[in-house]
Structure 1
Amino acid sequence: MRRLAGLAAAFSSVRLKATVAATLVVALALGLAALSLVTVLRSTLQRNADAEAAKKAVAAVPYAERLDIKAPTEDTVRVQPGPVQIAGKSGVVQLRDGTTAMFADPDVLLTADKAASAAGWAEPQKYAVAGLKVSTAGGPATVWTRVSLDSAEEALRTLYGALLPGVPAVLIVVAGMTWISVGRALAPVAAIRAKVADITARDLHQRVPVPGSKDEIAALATTVNGTLDRLETAVETHKRFVADAAHELRSPIATLRARLELAEPSELTREALDDIERLQSLAADLLILAKLDAGEPLRTAELDLGQVAAEESLRARRRPDVRVELDIEPDVVMKGSRAHLDRLVTNLADNAVRHAASTVRVRVRAEEDQAVLEVQDDGPGIPPEQREAVFARFTRLDEARARDAGGAGLGLPIARDIALLHEGTLVYADSGFVAKFPLKTP
């Protein structure tokens, strides 16, 4: 599929489109030029042959005027097959019936009947023919002359022999040069695209390379960098606001909770305490999100993922009708932040307990060079088309994820961010949530 996608991208690229367009334009231009050249050369050769035939006819007129086409000479020199021809002392060959006479030059013919004479003698595909009316001793006649077109056809065949391989060769050269030129021109665009694709919300300080060509591509790169400047400023402002708001909310919320806990117990105070607890959880989630977005470096150490999973799973929110089962392999050691991984396991376990029917299973195992954490529950699960949407912030898929049933839609996004921060992955598969991290190398 990736190969097909790559081929589709290649065939839809600007480079290929420019190469095809340039090649088609040049092919059209060369085709018109070749057609014009062949037409002009054929016309010129035909005119030259017609002029030579006319010149030969003019030169034969004085000899034709002395002939009597109805009175052939009697002294016979030779008899040829077909129509009988007689050669006289004057060097003129006459047909025996006296209606035509042919000079010793086979390309000159004297006829008494213009309409009937030249047919079969001057084939239009092989000869250029000229005719002149003359007055002979026997009456009016026509002198016909012909010039072979073999030399013209040979010249055209030579031209065809040059054009047939030459035009494709020129097109190949044009396509290659266009491909190379457009590739070089678009190389800065490819670099800009690659850099923009590499930039994420955590490294908005990066900038795309600005080519030194001072052309439209350089202007595009400058504009993109300006946009990134404004985006980085906006994101940093947003992060500071979220962090400051979450931090400032913690103290008044804690004070309000303490006062409610000291107040006389009632249904109203219990509901208020539930709301305060959700507010505290939301403030804590916003604060950790702000820290994750800020890209603060991790304080990592070697830790046993199975131990972390076992401890935090048991500390997760409990339901009396749901039991938590552990399937932990020993010595699944990785490098990571204990506080962050505690939060990841807690969020996944809380989510599983909230939606389970009766059982939650937490598994940890080593798989090749990865540490694998699986959190499964026997609840309804997540439809395949929504398995990626649950990792978007503040996402609740249905009424089961309303505020009175749990969190504000930040637990799973925080868990994925923590996984990515540890160079790992977190997805929802058919078996439940699966997180994978690099194992510690010896």
Structure 2
Amino acid sequence: MRRLALRTGVRWKISIAIAAVGALIAFALSLVVHNAARVSMLETSRDLQMSRLVFAQRIYETTKPRTEPKLGSKLNDPELPRQLRDLLADGRRATYVQGDGPAPDIWAAVPLSNGDVLSLHSPVPNRSADIMEDLDRALVIGSVSVVFVGCALGVLIGGQLSRRLRKAAAAAGKVAEGNTDVRVRKAVGGVVRDETDELARAVDALTDALNERIEAERRVTADIAHELRTPVTGLLTAAELLPPGRPTELVRDRARAMRTLVEDVLEVARLDSASERAELQEIALGEFVARRVTVLDPDVRINVVHESWVNTDPRRLERILLNLLTNAAKYGKPPIEVTVEGRVVRIRDHGPGFPEALLREGPSRFRTGASDRAGTGHGLGLTIAAGQARVLGARLTFRNAAPGATEAPGGTGGAIAVLWLPEHAPTNTGSFPMPTRLD
């Protein structure tokens, strides 16, 4: 059972994290400031209320005869809170805050010498309540501003980190495609050093190690194939001296197959070394393909839709055509069609098509395909064709035709190999010239 996964970028994760932390800190500080300001306001109101009550007490006690208390104070007020009465039990004056709203009542009470209690209460002044409202409003605005600023800062920081990671991923993707000259650390760039650089150095070290291992394996393969050429040639020569007969034919056939395998392995090793260079000639592509394909297989249908002159290596192009036609004849079904349109050459058979592994991963040496496309080959034909195409700077793609798009009985659409020759031929160093813009 697959779990639902939410995919998002590093930029937004960092932004959300910074915004959440900023909001938490702003909320905590706002709560502390609000409570501190409220406590300070209430303490001030208590002191002011007690000062008024003390002044009213003096007036009450010094007036002869005594009259009603002044300044809004009351004697033995029945509404006096029970908590304040408990505080007055020790004979000391006290204050009490009644209510939790924005404007609570402030009580002040003082016991008199005759046992009476003089008290005074009034709500918090409107000015103090307004000040608290303004403070709360400022705290809310400040908190929201902190969240937005934190989010923007997270976008900037996360964006830079995300760009560096994307550059590293793009460079690693080029390495995975076979461009081993790419260095992830150089692609990341930047002045600041962080974990991205450590990742880039690790990928570069892994690439160097893999290149060394591949090169070592290539040299071993080339050396083994080279050492086998002499005994295989001797074996083939000795087989020619055997008397005619069925056993002799079997020996000669296996000796020729072994020689072909050795030559193919040597060619693959040379192509893997990236030292091969094309010997360029300007040719009419349609005419060249028609002439060579006719010699290779007269039964192949040839259709030149549009002629085009190309600068390429005829020998390597012929090798690609030979391998693709051999593969189509061995694993596909007739008719085999070759179409030339401009710089594009398509070779199609009407068989079961390429295996899914080849379409997904490309040609692989010593893999002859699935059971429905199995043969007696060594699986090097398409690998060599793809390698020769790289030397020419061309692109070789593989796909299957749609089921039912065939005139062959029993066919399922067929396999289609497409060779895309480049507009600009490679130079002697294997690079490609930059097009010059003429104004």
The TM-score normalised by the length of structure 1 is: 0.75
Is contact 2:353-2:400 (8 Å) kept? no
Q: CA deviation at 1:67?
A: 8.7
Q: Give me the whole-angstrom Cα distance separating, in 2, the residues matched to 1:102 and 1:385.
A: 102
Is contact 1:53-1:147 (8 Å) kept? no
Q: CA deviation at 1:342?
A: 0.9
Q: CA deviation at 1:332?
A: 2.5
Q: Give me the whole-angstrom Cα distance separating, in 2, the residues matched to 1:398 and 1:184.
A: 46
Q: 1:387 aligns with which of 349, 359, 362?
A: 359
Is contact 2:396-2:417 (8 Å) kept? no
**Structure 1 equivalent of residue 378 of structure 2:** 408
Q: In structure 2, what residue type is equivalent to 1:413?
A: T
1:35-54 mapped onto 2 (5 Å cutoff): 35-54=31-50
Q: Quick one: percent identity of the two aligned structures? A: 22
**Structure 1 equivalent of residue 411 of structure 2:** none
1:82-161 mapped onto 2 (5 Å cutoff): 103=70, 105=71, 107-114=72-79, 124=99, 125=101, 126-132=103-109, 134=111, 140-161=116-137
Q: Give me the whole-angstrom Cα distance separating, in 2, the residues matched to 1:44 and 1:394.
A: 85
Is contact 1:332-1:439 (8 Å) kept? no
Structure 1 residue 266 and structure 2 residue 238: aligned?
no
Q: In structure 1, what residue type is equivalent to 2:32?
A: S
Q: 1:417 aligns with which of 381, 387, 406?
A: 387
Secondary structure of residue in 2 paired with 1:144 = strand
**Structure 2 equivalent of residue 339 of structure 1:** 315
Structure 1 residue 351 and structure 2 residue 327: aligned?
yes
1:262–1:336 Cα change, 3 Å? same
1:62–1:29 Cα change, 3 Å? same
Bigger shift: 168-177 or 219-228?
A: 219-228
Partner deviation per Cα, 1:369-415 (whole Å, 9 max, x = no partner): xx22111112122355752346222222333554xx33111111222
**Structure 2 equivalent of residue 165 of structure 1:** 141
1:270-285 mapped onto 2 (5 Å cutoff): 270-285=249-264
Is contact 1:308-1:341 (8 Å) kept? no
Partner deviation per Cα, 1:193-221 (whole Å, 9 max, x = no partner): 44433336765355433877676555554
**Structure 2 equivalent of residue 26 of structure 1:** 22
Structure 1 residue 12 and structure 2 residue 15: aligned?
no
Q: Give me the whole-angstrom Cα distance separating, in 2, the residues matched to 1:145 and 1:171.
A: 42
1:279-358 mapped onto 2 (5 Å cutoff): 279-295=258-274, 296-316=276-296, 323-329=299-305, 331-358=307-334
Partner deviation per Cα, 1:41-81 (whole Å, 9 max, x = no partner): 1122122212322232222223445899xxxx9xxxxxxxx
Q: Give me the whole-angstrom Cα distance separating, in 2, the residues matched to 1:401 and 1:258.
A: 33
Q: CA deviation at 1:32?
A: 0.8
Q: CA deviation at 1:38?
A: 0.9
Query: Which ranges of structure 2 fall in alignment gaps of 5 or more residues?
Result: 1-5, 85-96, 402-413, 426-434
Q: Give me the whole-angstrom Cα distance separating, in 2, the residues matched to 1:358 and 1:257.
A: 33
Q: 2:55 aligns with which of 45, 55, 59?
A: 59
Q: CA deviation at 1:360?
A: 1.1
Q: Give me the whole-angstrom Cα distance separating, in 2, the residues matched to 1:390 and 1:116.
A: 89
1:114–1:331 Cα change, 3 Å? closer
Q: CA deviation at 1:350?
A: 0.8
Q: In structure 2, what residue type is equivalent to 1:377?
A: D
Is contact 1:114-1:142 (8 Å) kept? no
1:115–1:108 Cα change, 3 Å? closer
Equivalenced residue count is: 388
Q: Give me the whole-angstrom Cα distance separating, in 1, the residues matched to 2:294 and 2:163.
A: 55
1:376–1:47 Cα change, 3 Å? same
Q: CA deviation at 1:129?
A: 2.3
**Structure 1 equivalent of residue 421 of structure 2:** 437
Q: Give me the whole-angstrom Cα distance separating, in 2, the residues matched to 1:189 and 1:244.
A: 41
The TM-score normalised by the length of structure 2 is: 0.75
Is contact 2:229-2:262 (8 Å) kept? yes
Bigger shift: 177-186 or 40-49?
A: 177-186
Q: CA deviation at 1:136?
A: 9.4
Partner deviation per Cα, 1:91-138 (whole Å, 9 max, x = no partner): x7xxxxxxxx663x3x433445345999xxx9844343224255599x
1:123–1:265 Cα change, 3 Å? same
1:144–1:439 Cα change, 3 Å? closer
RMSD: 3.7
Query: Which ranges of structure 1 fall in alignment gaps of 5 or more residues?
Result: 1-7, 74-89, 93-100
Secondary structure of residue in 2 paired with 1:313 = helix
Secondary structure of residue in 2 paired with 1:438 = coil
Secondary structure of residue in 2 paired with 1:388 = helix
